Amino acid sequence: MYELLEATENNVIALQMHNGTRSGYQEFYELLSEKTSQYGAIHVYEETTDWTVWTFLTHLTGLIPDLRYGSEFAIKRYAAVGDNVWARLLYELWKVIRPLWPVAPTEMRYFDVDDRDEALRWVKFGEIV
């Protein structure tokens, strides 16, 4: 479901997100919970490139795990990096339900794929230099 990227370290989780699966979400949320236990609030950088409508739909499987595991971790900064309408749509939907949803980053931003370095800097340091 996902592939950890080299930038993953300490309280920063960087990943390339592929098709969503229930087992993948469970594994991912266990990682988020573990990192939260170690570091407190964590920061997530997520690349959502080359998505299709099918990829978007597979991530709806994440709704159940969100409800089950969402209170076990804390995301401070979340950056979505995408290159298409489906990745942007999932981000915008999450942004709308964020005030009511158990998986709710304190801050979230969407970056175009050409701005991935800027997104990673923001996730790591909280500012764009």
Question: In one letter, which amino acid is 93?
Answer: L
pTM metric for this prediction: 0.93
Exposure of 45 in the CB half-sphere (CA atoms within 13 A) = 26
Give the whole-angstrom CA distance, residue 18 versus residue 108.
20
| Range name among 11-20, 59-68, 100-109 with the lowest pLDDT average | 59-68
Report how far Cα 6 is from the mean position of its chain's Cα atoms: 16
Q: Which runs of consecutive H residues, i.e. helices, occur in 40-107?
A: 53-58, 63-69, 85-97
pLDDT digits (tens, 9 = 90+) for 72-120: 899 999 999 999 999 999 999 989 988 888 888 999 999 999 999 999 9
φ/ψ (deg, to 5) at 114: -65, -15
Which 8-state DSSP code applies to residue 106? S
The share of the chain scoring above pLDDT 70, in percent, equals 98
Looking at domain 2-125, which of 1.20.1250, 3.30.70, 1.10.3720, 3.40.50 is its CATH number?
3.40.50
